[in-house]
Chains A and B, each alone.
Chain A
Amino acid sequence: MKVKYNHIISTIALVTVSMVSCKKAEVTTFNKVKIPTSSPIQPGNIAGFVKGTLLTGQTYTVTGDITVKKGDTLSAQPGAIVVVKNNAQFNIQGVLNLLGSQDQPIFFNSDTNKPGTWGGFQADSAQAINIKWAHIDNTGGPDAGGSARRTIVVRGAIPVDIEDSWFTNGQDDLMGLFGAKVTILRNTISSSGSTDGEGINLKSGATGVVAYNVIFSQAGSGVKLETSTSVPFPQTEIEVYNNTIVAIGWRRGSAEPGRGTSVGVNAIGHIFNNIYVNCYHGIELFNDGDVTHTTYGNNLFYATVDTYTDLVDPTIKINIRDNFYPAGAAGSPRPTDLISTKIGNFDPLFVKFDGTVAAPNGFPNVNDFRLQNGSPAYGAGNTKYNQDLGAYTTDGKGNKH
């Protein structure tokens, strides 16, 4: 009997040992997604994976989504014209260099020339963005999930340099720059956001400068600063100075009024020398922002009407002047501010202004926000930034549009 047991046990042991050797560790293999090689751009129809340069005087028709791979660069020379069809978008994983000139700006538009008809620059994982002297119009068409797309979106601490360009008729945030190092100078952003969306939305540790821009008739806020709600560092810290921000924040409705400039969620703003006219709320420093480190002053606030009838509920009359620094927020008038108390008081005296308060998405911007002689904005600036207020200054550093 003993022998029998031994046999059994040794057989079992042998089987066990041989089976143990069967073990295979977990292997995860990602089936290779075929990514085509990038092809140099040729005039005519373009789509797919591209790199290279859009040439002066040439017209390109984008028929499908364009992807610029990591390591590749898409450049544009002055005067290049791009027409986007089929609600396509640009996926930028590499570098975008749109370098137009004052004489020969670059044009990006959809074939239908209607608001919200192409996808803009989805540059979440881009390496760098440089846009100078370019017209980027009618962006914000729906993505696959049905959401409006931001015109330019970046996530990551990359340099984003946007200067002297025109943006009109987007549908959501015009710029959504998360964590980027931004230089946003002398641009004109008009009539963007359908019923939501900020002009310049800076979050998640973005740092840099927003200056000499004109923002007109944005659905949400003109410039919005926030740090991430879940990642407290790094903090967003932006200098917002010498911008002219007009007729902002009405289309989102009074439940979520838009602000000329807002600072919230642990962000730091340095807000000086801006002109706010006919904005639903002027400067709003939310209690959850980094109020301690935020500085502001030398801003001009003006309203061309005493009250504005709420477009939805006509029984509500909104006193715009009460909302320059809205109730319930941390911000309060500074001694250096120019705060209008009635029509005509501290009127910035724009060269041409149609008096717009609320206007639809896509509303034409026919205004000239240069200042007439005698404007109170002259010489009222914090000289750390500029002696004058607004986007157009006497020293020639301001907006060139």
Chain B
Amino acid sequence: MINKYYLILLFTLCASTTLAQTAIIKGKVTDSKSKEPLPGAYVHLDGMHKGATTDAFGNFEINKLTAGEYKVKVKYVGFSEFEKEATVSDNQTMIIDIAMKESDEQLKTVNIYSKLNQSNESSSRKSEKNANNITNVLSARAMERSPDINAATALTRVSAVTLQRNSGSDEAYAIIRGLEPRYNNTLINGAKVTSPDPVSRFISLSVVPSDLLDRIEVSKTLTPEMEGDAIGGTVNLIFKDAPEAEYFKANASLGYSAIFFNRKYDNFNQSAVLSKSPSERFGPAYVAPPGYFTRANLDFTKKTAPPTALASFTYGRRFFHNKLGFIIADSYQNQYYGTNSQFNAAIPNTQAGGNYKPVLSDVANRAYSTQQLNNGLSTHLDYKIDDKNTIGLSNVFLYTYIAQTRLSIDTSIIGGNGGRIGPGTGTVFNDNRSNIQNQYVENLKLDGKHILSNHFQFDWAGLYSNATANAPDRADLTLNHLINPDFTSTPDYFDAISRIWSKNGNKDLSAYANLGYKTALGDKSSLEIKAGGLYRHSTRYNRQNEYTLRPAAEANGVKAQFTDIYSSQWVVYNVTGSSTSDAANYTASEDITSGYGEFKLNINNLDIVGGVRVEGTKQEYDTHPVVLNILSSAKKTYTDVLPSLQLKYKLTENSNLRAAYFKSIARPALYELVPTATFGQSSDVTGNPYLQHTEADNYDLRYELYPKNEEQFFVGGFYKEIKNPIEFALISTSGGQLQTTPQNFGTAKVAGAEVVYSRYFGNIGFSGNYTYTYSNISSAKDVPEAGTVNGKPVLKNQSRPLQGQTGDVANLSLLYKDDKHKAFAQLAYTYTSRTLSLVYPNYGYDYYQQPQSFLALSAEKQVSKHFTLTGKVNNLLNTPTTVKINNLVQARDVYNVSFNVGFRYSL
């Protein structure tokens, strides 16, 4: 038989040059049980290098065939292999519809390397069902069902995950169970990727194209083999291995932000930004003349906002008898977005009858115009040496360029050198800022998996990660004028200019190794034991150099009037810059050494996974002080023992009951320890070396029901006791910026419940999840109306929710797909309730971000074999981000609706 096929093959190959290639085999692959189409299944002709992968509707087409006899094969993990012989003649189009049968193989020895195709939805339900811990898995198929272009948008459909977004951009960070990003880990292929952003520890999820992803795993409980610094959970983005068939997919779209229908984009000359400060160019003793500093980057002009352009492609194939797989993806986003913002500083009302309630001391209106260019290039190579050994190499390179204009009009209501008597009067400051930033992230990972014997497996990984951010010449111009009580105005005066060059870098080197042993214990039980460790050395540096330019006084000594930037005269006040004495020039490092032992015992219907992880941490910083200060150099050490126990009881074939306990931690970011200010958009953070790391005891209970493929129902509850959560507290407001510092306020109790349900009814799919979380922490606050006792303020304990903890989180999505017309549509709704954003120093008041509802609509229609039109509308409700102290609006940011239309090409 085999020989016969080889002959046919040979014949086909030889004859291919002369014979007509006109036959076609096409059809649809479905699940025999659910009748659901199976996308991503590879249909191939046995013994030939020819095949096709099914599209999102399960359709495939293999064309350009010569007449003859073929054996059609389909392999799809979780299903028995399908085989059928077919004979086609010239110009024939043969239709073969394939119904795949599920296989129920239970493997008891090491099976991790039999390639489990987890990228389909029902197998993701399976991996949820079979996972050791409490997870939610989003498969590539689920991502493909709806036109999510990146990991961030896809993630919103995972239970209890919401996204924290920044000012109208596509930037997004995961919030799990309403716990802010600091308590969660974002991993790429199981490894951390450093971020150059001083404030966020992780890269934005929006730069990872969803085409590259095999699946996204969200783990809400930790097993000992996972890194212990996640209290909310871990988001793991797992890249695809190269598929067996050649794979190419490309997206392109154009978009626009509706905010620019109402106003222009504020632009500045980006080429006028000097990449190097005077002392960087000419040495620390160089006396910078006024002429060194450029003017065009403080000349703000209005232009029509260009459209946002997004493009991405993914290409993959395998070589050398499928041993070497190669997949590359590039995601390019050039976005123009804006924010109209109100930012008001609040202080206690000290007026008679004011009762020290917060009142506004300043009112500022700010308009941001931002260009952000992201390019993410990801490559993944896997080499299967043999059935037992594979080696992988992945590289993620991200480049981000940001150019931002901030025009701010700030009126001081209380204090300062005011003179305000009512609305529309007083001294008005115009604070106009331009800055650009270049960020580079390079992350290289080499890993291997080896089956050493029938019972032993070994895997290892080495990682190099380097992230830098360079923000040259942040230029800030302040002008002021007075609006008199009769509403006449003085001219604009030139107040000050500051120019700041800053730079930072993070470098990580890590190594992981794990050894596993697995054996059967009788017919129905098995035992798996794993041990391993990790070492990571991270270093960080921060450089800052500031020059202050003061207006040259008129001959009579008076401040000069401002007409335009080109005719302004200034003197360089600190001629050699601040670099030699600025405490913002620091180095810091973090070393993590950890090891774990883990077992998984499977006895009949009960799975027990447990063990202990030990993590040792050393954090250090040095601000290289010029002025001697005890806080200028410090070291922190701590070792945590993190036990974990997870029980899974299989109630029936389709349902599980799970219970888990684990201990986990959260470490402060290095910049949060260094006692120097890190500048933010509207608030600056001064680090606190006394800050303790956070420790949490976590308890989870979940019932899972899997009635049918792709259908799921989960209900669960959790309780966490979080010792020393890190929360931000207000120290003061200065220069229109909030000055905050991270602090520990005690122990928080967090309890919650979640429900997840998803189901597909023919053409309509529904998926929804809801998480309710209660959190409470009590800390001492000042009671100003009580005055002082012995010169000290009177303190009183106040109960409040944990900072960054959202009470209600709901995600609902409605999917519609029409196989006949090859059209998809999805409406996604997200709700988050009131969240404490900043701790106010006085009793009874805190800053709360107000409830938000977001609605997004996306749709696509396949117009030809290769082309699909796509469209997306985000923020349909034009939801503002509002922060209030009781009824006082402290900040309100409006981003408006954004539109995107484009197409997708797939091979």
Of B2-10, B268-276, B412-420, the stretch lying at the interface with chain A is B412-420
Q: Is A15 within 8 A of B612, CB to CB?
A: yes
Chain A nearest Cβ from B416, distance in angstroms: 8
Which of A250, A256, A266, A288 sits near B417, CB closer than 8 Å? A256
A388 contacts the other chain (Cβ, under 8 Å)? Answer: no
Q: Is B557 within 8 A of A229, CB to CB?
A: no
Q: Which residues of B contact A328 (CB under 8 A)?
A: 419-421, 425, 484-485
B639 contacts the other chain (Cβ, under 8 Å)? Answer: yes
A1 contacts the other chain (Cβ, under 8 Å)? Answer: yes
B762 contacts the other chain (Cβ, under 8 Å)? Answer: no
Q: Which residues of A contact B612 (CB under 8 A)?
A: 15-16, 19-20
Give A257 to B351 CA distance when docked, in angstroms: 24
B361 contacts the other chain (Cβ, under 8 Å)? Answer: yes
Contacting residues of chain B (459-492) with chain A, CB-CB under 8 angstroms? 480-482, 484-486, 490-492
Q: Which residues of A contact B628 (CB under 8 A)?
A: 33-35, 67
Which of A23, A33, A67, A311 sits near B556, CB closer than 8 Å? A311
Q: Which residues of B contact A359 (CB under 8 A)?
A: 556-557
Chain A nearest Cβ from B781, distance in angstroms: 13
Q: Is B350 within 8 A of A227, CB to CB?
A: yes
Q: Is B554 within 8 A of A312, CB to CB?
A: yes
Task: Name the residue in B493, B643, B733 with the highest tally of chain A Cβ atoms < 10 Å from its Cβ.
Answer: B493
Of B431-439, B764-772, B784-792, the stretch lying at the interface with chain A is B784-792
Given A22-B614, A33-B633, A288-B414, CB of A146 within 8 Å of CB of B482? no
Q: Is B639 within 8 A of A24, CB to CB?
A: yes
Chain B nearest Cβ from A80, distance in angstroms: 26
Q: Which residues of A contact B498 (CB under 8 A)?
A: 146
Number of A-B contacts (CB under 8 A): 232
Given A33-B625, A33-B632, A251-B559, CB of A232 within 8 Å of CB of B689? no
Q: Is B641 within 8 A of A22, CB to CB?
A: yes
Question: Is chain A's interface secondary structure helix, strand, loop, or mixed overall?
Answer: loop
* Chain A contact patch, size range: 35 or more
Closest to B730 in A: A230
Of B100-108, B250-258, B573-581, B883-891, the stretch lying at the interface with chain A is B573-581
Give A252 to B527 CA distance when docked, in angstroms: 79
Closest to B362 in A: A229
Task: Name the residue in A20, A311, A316 with the highest tally of chain B Cβ atoms < 10 Å from its Cβ.
Answer: A311
Q: Is A312 within 8 A of B559, CB to CB?
A: yes
* Interface residues contributed by chain B, number (CB under 8 Å): 92
Give A6 to B165 CA distance when docked, in angstroms: 51
Closest to A219 in B: B557
A8 contacts the other chain (Cβ, under 8 Å)? Answer: yes
Q: Which residues of B contact A287 (CB under 8 A)?
A: 421
Of B364-372, B375-383, B543-551, the stretch lying at the interface with chain A is B543-551
Q: Is A358 within 8 A of B556, CB to CB?
A: yes
Task: Name the residue in B548, B556, B634 with the highest tally of chain A Cβ atoms < 10 Å from its Cβ.
Answer: B556
B558 contacts the other chain (Cβ, under 8 Å)? Answer: yes
Q: Is A29 within 8 A of B638, CB to CB?
A: no
Q: Which residues of B contact A219 (CB under 8 A)?
A: 557
Which of B356, B521, B689 sits near A30, CB closer than 8 Å? B689
Q: Which residues of A contact B416 (CB under 8 A)?
A: 256
Closest to B486 in A: A327
Give A329 to B481 CA distance when docked, in angstroms: 18
Give A239 to B635 CA distance when docked, in angstroms: 49
Q: Which residues of A contact B841 (CB under 8 A)?
A: 230
Contacting residues of chain A (18-47) with chain B, CB-CB under 8 angstroms? 19-20, 22-31, 33-35
Q: Which residues of A contact B627 (CB under 8 A)?
A: 65, 91
- Chain A 296-315, CB-CB to B under 8 Å as 1, else 0, gives 00000000000000111100
List chain A positions with a Cβ less than 8 A from chain B: 1, 4-5, 8, 12, 15-16, 19-20, 22-31, 33-35, 65, 67, 91, 142-148, 157, 194-196, 219-221, 226-227, 229-234, 250-258, 264-266, 284, 286-288, 290, 292, 310-313, 316, 326-329, 358-363
23 contacts between A and B (CB under 8 A): A8-B601, A28-B634, A29-B634, A31-B622, A31-B633, A33-B630, A144-B582, A195-B550, A226-B415, A229-B361, A232-B350, A250-B558, A251-B557, A253-B490, A253-B561, A254-B490, A256-B416, A265-B415, A288-B414, A313-B561, A328-B420, A329-B419, A360-B557
Q: 10 closest A-B pairs (Cβ-Cβ)?
A: A360-B557, A146-B548, A146-B574, A328-B421, A266-B350, A144-B581, A24-B639, A328-B485, A26-B638, A256-B417
Beyond the given pairs A230-B348, A288-B350, 11 more chain A to chain B contacts, judged by CB atoms under 8 angstroms and listed by A's residue number, are A24-B637, A33-B632, A227-B350, A231-B784, A232-B784, A265-B350, A265-B415, A358-B557, A360-B557, A361-B553, A362-B557
List chain B positions with a Cβ less than 8 A from chain A: 347-348, 350-352, 356, 361, 414-421, 425, 427-428, 480-482, 484-486, 490-493, 498, 521-522, 527, 546-548, 550-551, 553-561, 573-574, 577-578, 580-582, 597, 599, 601, 610-612, 614, 616, 622, 625-641, 643, 689-690, 692-693, 732-733, 784, 787-788, 791, 793, 841
